[in-house]
Amino acid sequence: MRPFTAPAGDLPYARGVREAVLFDIHGNVDALEAVLADAEALGCEGLLLGGDYAYLGPAPDDCVDRLRADARPATAIRGNTDRMIATGGDPVSAWAADRLGPARVAWLGGLPERVVLPGHDALLVHATPRDDEERLLPDTPDAIAEAMLAGVGQATLLCGHVHLQHRRRVGAIEVVNPGSVGFPFDGDPTAAWAIVEDGAVELRRTPYDVERSLARLAGLASHPERALAERRLRTARA
């Protein structure tokens, strides 16, 4: 498994690099494979990975392995559920950790919380710059959103966590949430992601075989929240 990671600081990104931005995969390898294929077809030269790779979906180990095996340069940060898996959390975290094994769990736990992307004039975080579980929603009042973004010096904030694809302006900062690859919550079951090139962000959706993901879940009698995962896959709602 390729041990890629990124330091929590400035990275030598060249302007013009076209990269796929993926958040909240959540163990849904069928959605992940479809997005990665779409990204390749669209000429993405690298991956920006915003956390929550393995929690809840049927294939946490396959998702981590697929990301680490991708030949494109990749930068990954840690999400709240990655932290939970690494440190010990609820029954779903324990189930995922058991399927991942110690090496993959250690990889998740060792990822940084945030990365500055100078080539895109952007900051990559999982939820908000100050907390990996804070909810920055499309309708969060401006004053509250501005407090969440205090101290951000980049033109763009790339964030996820709430599984709702959207973009909005908060003061001088463009906030872009690519949505969730594995479990969208906006009623649209297609995998949500984005492309960023020289700071310009394009929101994308990619269809995938939801029934195949449901079939994977159906064979997992040990999954502690199988019914929740199935409902979210079928409805694309929280």
Tens digits of per-residue pLDDT, 184-212? 999 999 999 999 999 999 999 999 999 99
Query: Would you place residue 5 in the very low, low, confident or very high pLDDT band (cuts 50, 70, 90)?
Result: very low
| Over residues 46-66, mean pLDDT | 98
How is the chain split into domains, by residue range? 18-225
The third-level CATH classification (topology) of the domain covering 18-225 is Purple Acid Phosphatase; chain A, domain 2 (3.60.21)
According to DSSP, the residues that pair with 194 across neighbouring strands are 21, 203
CA torsion 79-143-120-62 (nearest 10°) is: 20
Residue 158 corresponds to which tokens in the numbers above?
Answer: 């790339």
Percent of the chain with pLDDT over 90: 92
pLDDT at 89 (0 to 100): 81
20, 176 contact by CB (below 8 A) = no
- The first and second tokens of residue 196, run together, are 């960023």
Euclidean distance between CA atoms 204 and 167, whole angstroms: 12
Q: What is the mean pLDDT of residues 113-142?
A: 97
Q: In angstroms, rounded to a whole number, what is the distance separating the alpha carbons of residues 27 and 230? A: 13
Q: Which residue has the higher pLDDT, 76 or 6?
A: 76
pTM: 0.94
Report the pLDDT value the prediction gives residue 9, as an integer from 0 to 100. 41
